[in-house]
């Protein structure tokens, strides 16, 4: 197939096909994914000395309320026996975790073996994608007699092994100077399950250990808003909140002293406030204002830390556009096709609400991995990510989206199926009549015969015009015909045509066959030679149908042997006598530039 022939037929084709406006939604899950965390808490009598102000209790609140909505949280506390055992609960029920924690008393011995086993067994009942235990202890395993101590240590070791086999990760926070010894057997639980060990020499440092677990181990994104040195007076500050329409924005205030008189001012779909002794939490659903006003009163000399923990629940959608062009390879049978794949992110509960459209989110990185290949980093731009891919055939791709580098926590589907359509075939060339190149003598004979025939025809008297040709008109032609041949006798496609009437003499009567012949249309349309046009008054066109074709103007059938005026903008449909061929033409005005 010759490249020049294709170019002459379709110029330089740049097709932008919307692929039937293909939009593929992420597969919705029949069951929500969630993660489970249990705070395992040593409440033995030694904690009275190591945690005089009960700051460890506030650390439970810090962990509980900082976790996103897809975390279930539980608490287990032990001294000589299990004193609190609450299996993980959904995010709406977290206040009951704090009610249990606030009732804990520091007393008796430390039976860490029983405590860890209880936490492991509660997590084994959870159908969670991730299972985590955060253990806070201020000393070794110690009970009233040596036999019980040995039994508890053995139980602790067995529970650690059971956790490792069940895919449970244990992080250990050691409180107080006694825990500086890294050989303390309490720390072995973290080492054996892939968790982390943290030291808090003073209770005020528990907060730092909790932050490290949240950020480094659980990948919970939080933004430090302010650290305020309180003077006992009401403190007022305004903080930026770029996370418009986030599913939830949590603002957590923590201190080593009581926080009082917390007041807020912002716009959102809904909000609630939870106040503890040394912490306060503001939960903001779908914030709509970019500023949040806060005021509170801290104890003079204390320090108040304020962090923001944004969370989005999203569903990705993908839209595909195709760009086709003529290939440079002359042997190619199809277009070169490039797919523009655009990923857009919407709110999970309101899938008409597009997210991340504010300038703050531009240039944030999102990873795209196709069919298990290495993830490629792409940046957000006005809430979308667009990638290009060459397509040579129909195919389905499994795309995995990595949100881990976004500055907030994401809940939602991270896999999506993209169905790509292969390119269209190039159009076939119209068959050409064979040329007989048999020799100079034959060519010469044909030329001589043609000359003789022309002489004979030119000497014959010209036939009189048929009776059914309309009388010429005295009016001048204006305008043009835009012609669209929708079906031909042979089935070949004919591109749109334009016939300029402006240059015709006023008295000329044209048939549709004459017009098609002037446009170099080689097809023969039965009855086209008996559909006539002439100029009419007021820049109109007069159509006379003397054929057996079906001619319709605005759904009105034009009767045979009658003439009709076609006004500028008028549209006419014709089904020719073979009842197969069809065309549509529209009578249009000429622009001044087309009259030169």
Q: Are strands 168-175 and 130-137 parallel, antiparallel or unpaired?
A: parallel
Q: Which pLDDT score is estimated for 591? A: 79
3-state secondary structure 264-333: EECCEEEEEEEECCCEEEEEEEEECCCEEEEEEEECCCCEEEEEEEEEEEEEEEEEEEEEEECCCCCCCC
Q: Which pLDDT score is estimated for 474? A: 86
**DSSP letter for each residue of 487-540:** E-SS------EEEE-TTS-TT--EEHHHHHHHTT--S--TTGGGEEEEE-GGG-
What distance in Å separates the CA atoms of residue 489 and residue 43, rounded to the nearest whole number?
A: 93
Domains of the chain: 31-220 (3.40.50.410), 221-427 (no CATH), 480-588 (2.60.200.20)
For the chain, list residues with pLDDT below 50: 1-30, 32, 436-438, 459-464
What distance in Å separates the CA atoms of residue 584 and residue 258, rounded to the nearest whole number?
A: 83
Q: Which pLDDT score is estimated for 526? A: 94
pLDDT 10s digits, 60-83: 888 899 899 999 999 999 999 999
What distance in Å separates the CA atoms of residue 354 and residue 342, rounded to the nearest whole number?
A: 13
Number of H helices, E strands in the chain: 10, 33
DSSP 213: I
Rounded to the nearest 10 degrees, the angle between the axes of helix 95-102 and helix 55-66 is 170
Q: What residues pair up with 383 in beta bridges, in sequence order?
A: none
Burial class (CB in 10 A: 0-12, 13-18, 19+), 403: buried
Length of the chain as a residue count: 596
Helix (H) or strand (E) holding 61: helix 55-66
Rounded to the nearest 10 degrees, the angle between the axes of helix 112-124 and helix 146-165 is 30
pLDDT 10s digits, 84-97: 999 999 999 998 99
Q: Which pLDDT score is estimated for 433? A: 56
pTM of the model: 0.64
What distance in Å separates the CA atoms of residue 252 and residue 203, rounded to the nearest whole number?
A: 19
Lookup: tokens for 124: 């084994």
What distance in Å separates the CA atoms of residue 37 and residue 218, rounded to the nearest whole number?
A: 10
Burial class (CB in 10 A: 0-12, 13-18, 19+), 334: middle
Q: Which pLDDT score is estimated for 493? A: 85
């Amino acid at each position: 197939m010759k490249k020049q022939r294709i170019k002459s037929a379709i110029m330089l084709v740049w097709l932008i096909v919307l692929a039937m406006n293909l939009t593929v939604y992420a597969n919705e899950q029949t069951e929500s994914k969630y993660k489970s965390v249990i705070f395992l808490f040593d409440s033995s009598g030694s904690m009275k000395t190591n945690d005089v102000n009960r700051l460890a209790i506030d650390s439970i609140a810090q962990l509980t309320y900082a976790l996103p909505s897809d975390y279930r949280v539980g608490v287990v506390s032990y001294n000589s026996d299990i004193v609190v055992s609450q299996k993980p609960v959904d995010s709406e029920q977290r206040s009951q975790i704090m009610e249990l924690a606030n009732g804990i008393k520091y007393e008796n011995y430390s039976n860490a073996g029983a405590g860890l086993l209880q936490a492991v067994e509660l997590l084994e009942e959870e159908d969670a994608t991730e299972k985590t235990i955060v253990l806070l202890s201020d000393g070794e395993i110690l009970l009233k007699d040596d036999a019980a101590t040995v039994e508890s240590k053995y139980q602790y070791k067995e529970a650690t092994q059971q956790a490792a086999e069940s895919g449970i990760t244990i992080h250990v926070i050691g409180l107080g100077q006694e825990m500086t010894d890294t050989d303390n057997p309490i720390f072995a639980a973290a080492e054996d399950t892939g968790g982390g060990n943290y030291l808090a020499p003073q209770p005020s440092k528990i907060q730092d250990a909790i932050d490290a677990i949240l950020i480094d181990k659980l990948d919970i994104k939080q933004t430090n808003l302010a650290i305020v040195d309180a003077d006992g007076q009401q403190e007022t500050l305004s903080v930026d909140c770029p996370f418009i329409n986030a599913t939830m924005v949590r603002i957590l205030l923590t201190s080593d002293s009581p926080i009082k008189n917390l007041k807020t001012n912002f716009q959102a779909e809904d909000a609630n406030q939870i106040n503890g002794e040394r912490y306060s939490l503001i939960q903001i659903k779908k914030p709509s204002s970019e500023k949040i006003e806060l005021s509170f009163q801290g104890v003079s000399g204390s320090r108040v830390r304020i962090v923001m923990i944004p969370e989005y629940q999203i569903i990705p959608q993908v839209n595909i556009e195709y760009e086709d062009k003529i290939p440079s390879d002359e042997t190619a049978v199809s277009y070169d096709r490039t797919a523009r794949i655009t990923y857009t992110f919407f709110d999970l509960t309101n899938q008409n609400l597009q997210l991340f459209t504010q300038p703050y989110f531009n240039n944030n990185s999102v990873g795209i991995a196709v069919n298990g290949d290495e993830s490629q980093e792409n940046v957000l731009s006005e809430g979308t990510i667009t990638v290009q891919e060459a397509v040579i055939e129909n195919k389905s791709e499994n795309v995995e989206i990595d949100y881990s580098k976004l500055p907030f926590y994401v809940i939602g589907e991270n896999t999506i199926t993209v169905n790509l359509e292969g390119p269209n075939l190039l159009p076939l060339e119209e068959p050409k009549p064979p040329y007989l190149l048999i020799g100079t003598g034959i060519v010469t004979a044909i030329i001589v015969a043609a000359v003789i025939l022309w002489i004979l025809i030119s000497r014959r008297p010209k036939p009189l015009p048929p009776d059914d040709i309309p009388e010429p008109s005295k009016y001048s032609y204006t305008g043009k015909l835009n012609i669209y041949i929708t079906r031909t006798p042979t089935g070949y496609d004919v591109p749109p045509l334009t016939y300029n009437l402006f240059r015709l003499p006023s008295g000329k009567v044209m048939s549709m066959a004459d017009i098609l012949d002037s446009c170099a249309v080689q097809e023969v349309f039965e009855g086209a030679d008996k559909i006539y046009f002439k100029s009419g008054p007021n820049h109109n066109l007069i159509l006379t149908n003397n054929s057996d074709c079906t001619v319709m103007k605005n759904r009105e059938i034009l009767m045979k042997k009658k003439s009709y005026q076609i006004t500028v903008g008028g549209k006419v449909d014709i089904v020719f006598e073979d009842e197969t061929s069809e065309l549509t033409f529209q009578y249009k005005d000429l622009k001044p530039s087309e009259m030169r």
